[in-house]
Amino acid sequence: MNTEMFVSFIIASTALAFAPGPDNIFVLTQSIVNGKKYGIATVLGLVTGCLVHTTLVAFGVSAVIKANENLFFAIKLLGSLYLLFLAYKVYKSDASIVFSTESIVKKSTLTLYKQGFLMNVLNPKVSIFFLAFFPGFLFSKTISTVVQFYVLGGLFMLVTLLVFGFIAILAGSISNQIKRHKNIGIYLKWTQIIVFVAIAGFILI
């Protein structure tokens, strides 16, 4: 078992969770409008949805590995190219972080949990990202690949829960910092680019 893989995976997952995107911005706005409890409910919905994508990727890729090692390498190669494509998209995107709470309707915790869950499950890009991200961090030649994917999925969910939960609890302070420091978006943007490129290179090597 390769513990360095775990450390690398956790660092990459943490950087990705902190990078501004539709999910953590959604958590931030819901927490500001409705309160911390409602932000946490949204986080739990988003995190639970990851379990569905983990299952799809775990059984799909495991079947490929059993069928053909070369095909598995092709998946990792395409995954690396996809991550480089994401890095390029981030590079071309606007670095400013904009969020509006004016048109947000207050909802119950159960409604926000369901909305977070559906936002994640119905987004095919999450499965594609998991397919690109997870294979490069398989950590054992003796443990079942399905089990390894679930371990990685569990770690990813835990990191996301902690980071997004942190965002939900400190939503007011975070939003004030974003408004006060206009350059924070640039730093987060380049962090995301570096992480994507680093993971792509790591998977190829």
Distance CA 144, CA 52 (A): 19
Residue 162's pLDDT is 96
Distance CA 65, CA 141 (A): 12
Of residues 76 and 175, which shows the higher confidence score?
76
Q: Is residue 99 pLDDT above 70, yes or no? A: no
* Confidence grade of residue 26 (pLDDT, cut at 50, 70, 90): confident
> Residue 40: which domain range?
3-98+107-204
Of residues 192 and 53, which shows the higher confidence score?
53
Q: Is residue 98 pLDDT above 70, yes or no? A: no
* Number of independent structural domains in the chain: 1
* Confidence grade of residue 107 (pLDDT, cut at 50, 70, 90): confident
Query: CA of 142: how far to CAs of 56, 69, 135, 139, 148, in Å?
Result: 21, 16, 15, 9, 10
